[in-house]
Amino acid sequence: MYDSPKQPDNAELAKAIYFVTEKLVTRGYLHIPDDIEFARPGHKSVFPCGKAYGPVPLDLNQLKWVANNGKFWFDWYEGSYLKLHLHKGMIDRKLEFDPAKQSLWGFVYFTLEEFK
């Protein structure tokens, strides 16, 4: 029988999300604020880097604050998940991470391995 992974606490989740997004920005896969979204079914999505209107650069300051403080400034409702839109050259992929269904550090490891 399959056991779903234990959902990480907010501090671990916050640090891992900042770690992977910062690496993907540095590697050139995330470019605009719309590339990072917290989808919250039944609730308004959160764009931690702002919502892009025109050519706005990506700013990770809010995610860095989350990582440093170990908590999110918004409610992480049941069913919430991270959506990333990665694009570089010929690559145009959307990734989703649901901490209730996927391994946090597995997601980080495999994402960073795939997008070097």
Percent of the chain having pLDDT more than 70?
Answer: 91
Domain boundaries defined on the chain: 10-114
Residue 8's pLDDT band, with cuts at 50, 70 and 90, is: low
Q: What is the pTM of this model?
A: 0.85
Residues 6+ apart with CB under 8 A from 112: 20, 23, 24
| pLDDT for residue 19 | 95
Q: What is the pLDDT of residue 54?
A: 67
- For residue 107, the model assigns a pLDDT of 94
Per-residue pLDDT reduced to its tens digit, 55-91: 777 889 999 999 999 988 888 888 999 999 999 999 9
Provide long-range contacts, Cβ within 8 A and 24+ apart, for 2-10: 4/100, 4/101, 5/99, 5/100, 5/101, 5/102, 5/103, 5/104, 7/99, 7/100, 8/99, 8/104, 10/70, 10/71, 10/72, 10/76
pLDDT at 67: 93
pLDDT in tens, 86-111: 999 999 999 999 999 999 999 999 99
